[in-house]
Homo-oligomer: A and B are copies of this chain.
Amino acid sequence: MLATDHEEAGNTVSESWRSFGEQRLSAPLAAALACFVEQGYHGTTIRRIAERAGLSVPGLYHHYPSKQALLEGLVMTVMHELLDHTRRAAAEAGDDPGRRFDNIVECLLRFHMHRRDQAFVASTEIRGMDPGVRGAYIALRDEQQRMVDDTVREGVDRGAFATPYPRDAGRAVTTMCVAVSSWYRPDGELSPDEVVEHYLALCRATVGAR
């Protein structure tokens, strides 16, 4: 599939959609992420971000032109990463809607555990985005939602799923998976594999998988 990839700065481009490498955020982005998670976008000051990044305020502005640009950097990066992984998860499943549903849901779940903070900020800070950023984010989010919806509908059409409400079921499944970023903790009682096992079963039940 990807033949000539070479390792680059310790990161391999051709990794499986199931695995998410360590996040390599710049110091300002990492600091902004931690602040936004704790206080929200409007509740965070540029001075606090700079302090957390080990920079002065002008030093921070040397790398990013505005507070909004920090939010944009976090949100856009993580949404493209999600879509990239989900597309590969769907492609790997081939034509069977049941298998595709399983792969997409597993991908959504693993993403919202491995990229918990960024996913949390993206989904809760929509009101903090300027119109341009918000529009771009919503377009990506809708594209992600459509992949789930199409798979559920196709599964119902082909008799793999039994739910009488495919549209609502698709939204419910996405909601469940996105919410993982608001309660999952690496030191919690469920491991990532267990979360996938449990929630994949729940999502299958929700769409009436036979």
Contacts and interface: CB of A to CB of B under 8 A. Distances in A.
A138 to B, nearest CB: 13
Contact of A206 (B38, B39, B205): B205
A38 B128 CA distance: 10
Interface in A172-210: 172, 175-176, 179, 183, 198-199, 201-202, 205-208
24 contacts: A38-B127, A39-B127, A40-B42, A40-B127, A41-B43, A42-B42, A43-B127, A43-B128, A124-B124, A163-B201, A164-B201, A165-B201, A168-B198, A168-B199, A168-B202, A172-B176, A172-B199, A175-B175, A175-B176, A176-B176, A205-B205, A205-B206, A205-B207, A206-B206
